[in-house]
Amino acid sequence: MQQEWIWGLAGGGLIGIAGAVYLLINGRIMGASGIIGSVVDGTAGNQTWERVWFIAGLFLLPTILSFWVGPRDNFITDNLWAIAAAGILVGVGTRLANGCTSGHGICGMSRLSLRGFVATVFYIGAGGLSIILFKHLLRVV
């Protein structure tokens, strides 16, 4: 537990450098939901391939690393109904809000965007309430 915050800080640094590369070189905001969602709904237009390459890197590097550092798990619940509901909520919600943890949270708040702060307050608040309701009260996950 003691070293976990160091790994968090180091991994966070990598995420921030990734966002800086995407911003300073490609001129784009690194928001996972926007990159994935715009490819899905066809609004990415002539940026589709650039975004597909981003998604490819996002999938491939952790895959390779996970072979190297040993088997990993995401430890997701085995309640498939909860997973399906959560997936739909995350998909609709992030596109409606135009951003998720990376876009609004990391990229938005680091440029002191009011929208980024407001979104982050609401998704963390809703996440906390969701845990109380589904884990502690209903015990479905």
| Window 25-64: residues binding another protein (CB under 8 A) | 25-30, 32-33, 36-37, 40-41, 43, 49-51, 53-63
> How far apart are the two ends of the chain, measured CA to CA in Å?
23
Q: Do residues 74 and 81 make contact, with C-beta atoms less than 8 angstroms apart?
A: no
CA distance 137 to 122: 21
**Other CB atoms within 10 Å distance of the CB of residue 117:** 14
- Site map 57..96 versus another protein, x via CB under 8 A: xxxxxxx-xx--x-xxxxxxxx-x-xxxxxxxxxxxxxxx
Residues 108-137 that bind another protein (CB under 8 A): 109-111, 113-115, 118-120, 122-132, 134-136
| Residue whose CB is less far from another protein, 43 or 45 | 43
